[in-house]
Amino acid sequence: MRIPSFGLTTGVAAATTVDDVTVIVTESLSKRYPRVTALDRLSVDIAPGVTGLVGANGAGKSTLIKILLGLAPATEGTAHVLGLDVTTDGGAIRERVGYMPEHDCLPPDVSATEFVVHMARMSGLPPTAARERTADTLRHVGLYEERYRPIGGYSTGMKQRVKLAQALVHDPQLVFLDEPTNGLDPAGRDEMLGLIRRVHSDFGISVLVTSHLLGELERTCDHVVVIDGGKLLRSSSTDEFTQVTASLAVEVTDTDAHPDGTEALRAALAAAGAAVTTRPAGSEGLVASGHLLYVEAAGEETYDLVRDTVAGLGLGLIRMEQRRHQIAEVFRDADAAQAATATAGAPGAPYATQDGGAHDVA
Amino acid sequence: MSPEPMTSTHPASPSGAPADAYIHNIGYRHYDGPRLGRAYARRSLFSQSLRGSYGLGRSAKSKVLPLLLLVAMCLPAAIMVAVAVVTKAQALPVGYSRYAVFLQAVIGLYLAAQAPQSVSRDLRFKSIPLYFSRPIERVDYVASKFAAMAAALFILTGLPLLILYVGALLAKLDFLEQTKGLAQGLVAVVLLSLLFAGIGLVVSAVTPRRGFGVAAVIAVLTIPYGAVSAVQGIAFVQGHESAVGWLGLFSPITLIDGVQSTFLGGSSSFPNGLAPTTGAGFVYLLVTLAVIVGCYALLMRRYRKAGL
């Protein structure tokens, strides 16, 4: 059915032509339990590609995936996956969708090959096809000779690959990856993120990946959906998230004239009209926040301004580096927005970063 | 990240080419073949679980116990047959429908070893979400596991009956009588397999720990049996013979014993060979069926929350 391979761009073409419209559509989707509202009138459209689903623990990510797999009924609202209604076509959806759970799910006493073959058959693949697809898929996720050994002896990274393989073995059109980088070391994370990128770019399979580590989604996803407390905070492309403005991180020494050099610089820059903040913009960077200044870079002149101001105060410039806005900032923005008004959750409030700039100044 | 180098080999068909020969050059190939859906997945789970109950598709170590127990089930039958053939006996020393009751300890051990293997494993290693994120539903999972366990027990208990039957025919015993006996015996072991499978699975599905499961299954099978036998003995000695017939309702194996001695032409293992009356026999049958259905319902309930 897919891409006869002509030119050099077929992989990418396939990725965007398999399903032109959307892979996931929800409309005012709600899920209420007796005590807690897991999803609150969530409306999102997710296009083919790699989409990040961001939210703190308990934000409703798992509930959303459960509903999208047709495993839990929504309290109200509708959801469609690959054009199929989750309430009536759950089986058909699960045949065409892959799922990689967050937690361990692998029995240690069988080999990766045996396990993935079994899972392929559970997805409806005939025995021969199940074996062929297993060999192919394990190779694609980077498991070679070790696939014949019992899973119990695998490293965390290898186990994650097996988990990914079982989600891909039946060649789904869409995979849900729940925290796929959990428990991996930095190198393992990078490899897993690269693999996720390839799932879309090389395999033509759309991906919905959840994470609470926001930094990694910037690099991996085309689109990011942020939910919190079951509500949609934002849904926009990664570029819009991160490239609206650049900012400079500046660190200076203290001198006798200015015992608190950082504060002196902040005051001087603010007086000169630059947007300065002392808080690290990303929630990840909690270190040394007292000694770093974040300056909105309006253009070349901002660099000059910082240089001249530092020199004028007689401070030592330890570093001045460019950093892009991180997705993490939307949480801060959202908090601020929520404090002001509750409308941040409305689906129609897409690009809140302009407001975010204002918060930074404040 | 770019797919370009991959696509040149894209049209290579999944069959034919030896895949391992050029590992690094094959791009991703989509699967266009049939997807056999829910019923097929259910059958696959059934056969995988049944094979697993005899250690097939698992490590060599896990094949030892089930096969040993299968041999232990069949050996007495083979010996009886040999004796019957050599001595030209007029009848087999043990009736078909009673054979399994005699060897209940072996059946109990087998169940204790394999029922936790079948269900606790998926619970313990949290593989359940992987099943339920696929076309099968909860009812398919429970039904497959139940049917597989019952089938495994049926093989364990039915095979010796077959040996007895073949041996009886070799010993030139009456064909009609033996065939009728075999049929009755098979009905008895079908009931026994369903009952034991249900009990074993419900008990093992409670705990993700396999060791607890093994101990619990053994306890559930032996403690009621011991208690029932003891109380039956006391009741018999004190002359309450009617009570003996009813007491058998309270342990799995005496349930089967009551059913088979009432309806399936066997003699019971109750004190002095007392059998329940026909009326009581119906109660036995009803209780047996109710327990089987109840176990199924409990399993369904157990997996209601076991989704993602």
Q: How confident is the model at residue A292 (pLDDT cuts 50, 70, 90)?
A: confident
The answer to whether residue A347 scores a pLDDT higher than 50 is: no
* Averaged pLDDT, A79-87: 94
Same domain, A250 and A220: no
Q: Which two tokens stand for residue B298?
A: 């409990």
Tell whether A121 and A267 lie within a shared domain.
no
With contacts defined as CB-CB under 8 Å, which chain A residues touch B59? 109, 150
Residue A279 pLDDT class (50, 70, 90 cuts): low
Final residue of a structural domain among A241, A258, A290: A241
pLDDT computed for residue A332 by the predictor: 58
Q: Indicate whether A201 and A253 sit together in one domain.
A: no
Last-in-domain residue among A226, A241, A256? A241
* pTM for this entry: 0.78
Label residue A293 by pLDDT band (50, 70, 90).
Answer: confident
Q: Is residue A70 part of a domain?
A: yes
Amino acid A216 reads E
Within this chain, do residues A233 and A249 fall inside the same structural domain, yes or no?
no
More confidently predicted of A138 and B60:
A138
Q: Could you give the number of structural domains in chain A?
A: 2
What CA–CA distance (Å, rounded) separates A82 from B275? 63
CA–CA separation, B107 and B63 (whole Å): 16
The C-alpha of B126 sits at a distance from chain A's nearest C-alpha, in angstroms, of 5
B44 closest CB neighbour out of A101, A121, A204: A121
Residue A201 shares a structural domain with residue A234: yes
User: Does residue A50 sit within a domain?
Assistant: yes
In order along its 308 residues, chain B shows pLDDT tens digits of 434 444 344 444 444 445 454 445 568 889 999 999 899 999 999 999 999 999 987 778 889 999 999 999 999 999 999 998 888 888 888 889 889 999 999 999 999 999 999 998 899 999 999 999 999 999 999 999 999 999 999 999 999 999 999 999 988 888 999 999 999 999 999 999 999 999 999 999 998 888 899 999 999 999 999 999 899 889 888 888 778 888 888 999 999 988 988 888 777 777 777 777 888 889 999 999 999 999 999 999 999 875 65
Residue A303 placed within a domain = yes
Asked if B179 contacts B96 with a C-beta cutoff of 8 angstroms, the reply is no
Res B108: pLDDT: 95
Same domain, A171 and A272: no
Whether A258 maps to a domain, the answer reads yes
Element of type H or E holding B73: helix B60-87
Chain B interface mutation, best of A86, A102, A111, A123, highest count of B Cβ atoms under 10 Å: A123
Chain A: closest CA distance from residue B24 (Å): 9
Per the model's pLDDT, the better-predicted residue between A349 and A211 turns out to be: A211
Among the candidates A241, A261, A285, a domain finishes at A241
Angle between helix B175-206 and B252-263 (nearest 10): 160
pLDDT of residue B274: 73
Average pLDDT over chain A reads 80
Reported as type and span, the H/E element at residue A232 is strand A231-237
Of B48, B58, B133, the CB nearest to A99: B133
**Which residue(s) pair with A29 in the sheet?**
A42
Q: Are residues A309 and A202 in the same domain?
A: no
**pLDDT computed for residue A134 by the predictor:** 96
Residues A32 and A129 in one domain: yes
Of A283-287, A333-337, B22-26, B144-148, the one with minimum mean pLDDT is: A283-287
Residues A61 and A112 in one domain: yes
Distance CA B163, CA B81 (A): 8
A357, part of any domain: no
**Do residues A218 and A251 both lie within one domain?**
no
> What Å distances lie between residue A296 and A248, A305, B64, CA to CA?
6, 12, 71
CA angle A96, A196, A107 (to 5 degrees): 70
> Containing domain of residue A86, as a range?
10-241
Q: Is there a domain that residue A301 lies in?
A: yes
Q: Retrieve residue B280's tokens.
A: 């009581």
Q: What is the pLDDT of residue A123?
A: 95
Is the domain of A233 the same as that of A288?
no
- Buried b or exposed e, range B274-284, using 16+ CB within 10 angstroms: bbbeeebbebb
CATH of the domain at A307: 3.30.70.270
Read off the pLDDT band of A5 (50, 70, 90): very low
CB-based contact B125 A194, cutoff 8 Å: no
Kindly determine whether residue B130 and residue A122, on different chains, have CB atoms separated by under 8 Å. Answer: yes
DSSP result, A248-305: EEEEE---SS-SSHHHHHHHHHHHTT--EESS-SSTT--TTGGG-EEEEE-SHHHHHH
Residue A1: pLDDT band (50, 70, 90) is very low
Q: How far is A122 from chain B (nearest CA, A)?
A: 5
Structure tokens at B247: 């007491």
What residues of chain A lie within 8 A of the CB of B23, using their CB? 139, 144
Both structure tokens of B119: 């269900």
> What whole-number distance in Å separates Cα of residue B261 and Cα of residue A131?
49
pLDDT higher than 60, residue A281: no
* Residue A300, domain member (yes or no): yes
- Judge if A316 and A192 occupy the same domain: no
User: Is residue A293 assigned to a domain?
Assistant: yes
Residue B299 distance to chain A (closest CA, Å)? 18
Q: Which residues contact A16 (CB under 8 A, 6 or more apart)?
A: A48, A49
Per-residue confidence (pLDDT) for residue B133, from 0 to 100? 93
pLDDT grade for A243, boundaries at 50, 70 and 90 = low
